[in-house]
Amino acid sequence: MGASKKILFTPQQNRLAELAKALAHPARIAILEHLFRVNDCVCGDIVEAVPLAQSTVSQHLNELKKAGLIHGEIEGAKVCYALDPKAWADIKILLGRFLETPNCC
């Protein structure tokens, strides 16, 4: 075994875990921070902003896309990546609600 057992959890729990997973790598944090800074539509200079090989960065971009956090638009030979406002609102609500639950022992 070793496959994650999504069936056993609620959609909310799975979605929250999925969003967290998208943030669970410093390179992806760095990519998102870069997209924050350059809030104009930014293209593949992301590769230069992250100290990893081009193919690796491409994979990380794909994971962010799969989670719905960003989307890329083809613009000639380049691709324009941008944050997805809808998904971003989503993550704010879900994570916000999660973090603000009254806690503690």
Token representation of residue 63: 């994971």
Using CA atoms, how far apart are residues 90 and 68, in angstroms rounded to an integer? Answer: 10
If one asks whether residue 98 binds its own copies (CB under 8 A), the answer comes out as yes
Q: Which of residues 5-44 bind DNA (CB under 7 A)?
A: 5, 21, 24-25, 27, 43-44
What is the Cα–Cα distance from 10 to 6, expressed in whole angstroms?
A: 8
**Contact flags string 11-50 toward its own copies, x per CB under 8 A:** --xx-xx--xxxxxxxxxxx-xx-xx--xxxx--------
- Structure-block tokens of residue 101: 């639950």
In the complex, the smallest distance separating the C-beta of residue 76 from its own copies, rounded to whole angstroms, is 17
Least Å distance, CB 103 to its own copies, is 5
Residue 86 contacts residue 93 (beta carbons within 8 Å) = no
Which residue's CB is nearer to DNA, number 12 or number 54? 54
- Please identify which residue in 49, 72, 82, 90 interacts with its own copies, judged by CB under 8 A: 82
The Cα–Cα gap between 63 and 75 comes to 21
Report residue 55 CA to chain centroid gap: 17
- Name the site residues for DNA (rule: CB under 7 A): 1-5, 21, 24-25, 27, 43-45, 47, 52-56, 58-63, 72, 75-79
